[in-house]
Amino acid sequence: MPAPHPLLQRLGADHAPALLAFERENRAYFAASVPDRGNAYFAEFDSRHAALLAEQATGACYFHVLVDEAGTVLGRVNLVDVAEGCAELGYRIARSAAGRGLATAAVREVCALAADAYGLTALRAVTTLDNTASLTVLTRTGFTPTGPTEVAGRPGTSFTRRLTL
């Protein structure tokens, strides 16, 4: 019997321990393709987590975690800088879960939530040119390249996706 599919859940206070473990375990893996969060992120994790939940409560952003049946965080999918019906999409998947289509499935699910539950009409995203996995996820989930950009000083591409309500 195949393993159950991971669940996408809205970030809550109870996710803090598993989320911190996810970030610690994957720190070097993520730093290879996106800027490192820095030591302060880990040292101040509890207060930062509380601040994210408070920000989420205002509707300025929507944070999600992808969890397995044991509650282990396998990924994050976030919508930030919500304004005028649009938000910026960001996501990261654990090294141990990469290459299984989880990012594509989670991004598709968040796109549906963005339209249906959050009332958004468009999403933006950026990635570096050398992040083949992220470029593939964005293309597979209906994002359209809109032009060159820089991501932490590295060449990248901007994307947009229109959402239907």
Residue 49 lies in a domain: yes
Residue 43: per-residue pLDDT: 95
State phi, psi for 37 to the nearest 5 degrees. -70, -20
Domain around 75: 7-162
Neighbours of 94 (CB within 10 A): 21
Is residue 29 situated within a structural domain? yes
Number of domains in the chain: 1
Distance (Å, whole) CA 22 – CA 91:
13
User: Distance (Å, rounded) from C-alpha 160 to C-alpha 149?
Assistant: 13
User: pLDDT at position 133, please?
Assistant: 92
Q: What is the CATH number of the domain that holds 104?
A: 3.40.630.30
> Is the model's pTM score more than 0.85?
yes
Domain assignment of residue 76, yes or no: yes
pLDDT digits (tens), the chain, 165 positions: 455 689 999 999 999 999 999 999 999 999 888 888 999 999 999 999 999 999 999 999 999 999 999 999 999 999 999 999 999 999 999 999 999 999 999 999 999 999 999 999 999 999 999 999 999 999 999 999 999 999 888 899 999 999 985
Q: What is the pLDDT of residue 165?
A: 55
Q: Is residue 1 part of a domain?
A: no
> So what's the pLDDT on residue 59?
94
Q: Is 87 domain-assigned?
A: yes
Q: Is residue 75 part of a domain?
A: yes
